[in-house]
Structure 1
């Protein structure tokens, strides 16, 4: 039986190292944008028409901080606000511009490269085993409510569709 404290320590150290490496790689493509701005680009890219309130829930910021992020992205020419005329003209739907789409794809590619480099150290069978273990543990790390949105804020939803997402399908959900 492995030393539980050591296993927990190694798991936490791996998670932190991976988070740091992914963050570093994404920042290199971000042209000074914050991690929240990168998450916003990714969320808007995969959910065009997103409202500020829905974006706020996904990137775990206050409403006013989310508005500031959207303002910065709009000023940089990465998103646009489309005002709704029907129900409430004050509610804007957020969408990426072509430059925003390119920035989102660059961030996702940087994230993918870090993960692929680590997975490349494993055999295909080890990757399959690792994936099975993480898919089993991830739901337990996700809390109730919109926590899966926050956990998946930097995810490539084309690579991991919601119907197969272990974070979206918590135990007991």
Structure 2
């Protein structure tokens, strides 16, 4: 009989360790907050997003998102552009795009290092299990953009289907 409480505890400890490793490298590389780093990655994949939408995608209120964008703009990483009516979009500058690529690489390095502990079969098994857990996480979170805010979307969808995107499509019917 499997001890589900122990498995849940192991998952929680692993999730925190992985998050700490991934976010520490990314934040160090960026020299910005974790939400700022997330925003740069979001803008890398969706280069013209409104402040409110950007905040939603990184888990911030509109006012906190506006302050974050102010900080990123002061650092020369994003710029605001007038949109339709009173709307304003946020776009990464060339420096912001370069930093987003660096962030993704910094996030990937410690994660790839952890995966070196697995053989090929274990790697495939883990990938399938993670896809299943991410689909379930989408059911709990209900927001693919928020869930994948620091995701390397190109890597995720190269010769595969994103499990979060598929869960979103499945839920919409």
TM-score, structure 1 length as denominator? 0.90
Query: 1:170 is matched with which residue?
Result: 167
Take 2:111 and 2:61, find their aligned partners in 1: how far apart are those partners?
A: 30
Q: Residues 29-59 of structure 1, C-alpha deviation per residue, up to 9 Å, x if partnerless?
A: 122x111100110111110111112212101
Two-structure CA RMSD over aligned residues (Å): 1.9
User: Does residue 1:45 correspond to 2:44, yes or no?
Assistant: yes
Maintained 8 Å contact 2:25/2:107: yes
How many positions carry a matched residue from both structures?
169
Structure 1 position 113 matched with structure 2 position 109? yes
Give per-residue Cα distances to partners, 1:100-137, cap 9 Å, x unaligned: 01111111101110110011111122111110111112
Question: Shift of residue 144 of structure 1?
Answer: 6.0
Using the alignment, how far apart are the partners of 1:77 and 1:156 within structure 2?
Answer: 23
Deviations 1:131-173 (A, max 9, x none): 0111112111224675221111111111123982212332851
Inter-partner Cα distance in structure 2 for 1:107 and 1:137: 24
Match of 1:122 in 2: 118
CA contact (8 A) 1:52 1:63 kept: yes
The structure that is helix-richer by fraction is: 2
**Gaps in structure 1 of 5+ consecutive residues:** none
Distance 2:120 2:38 in 1: 30
Corresponding residue SS for 1:95: strand
1-structure distance, mates of 2:76, 2:154: 24
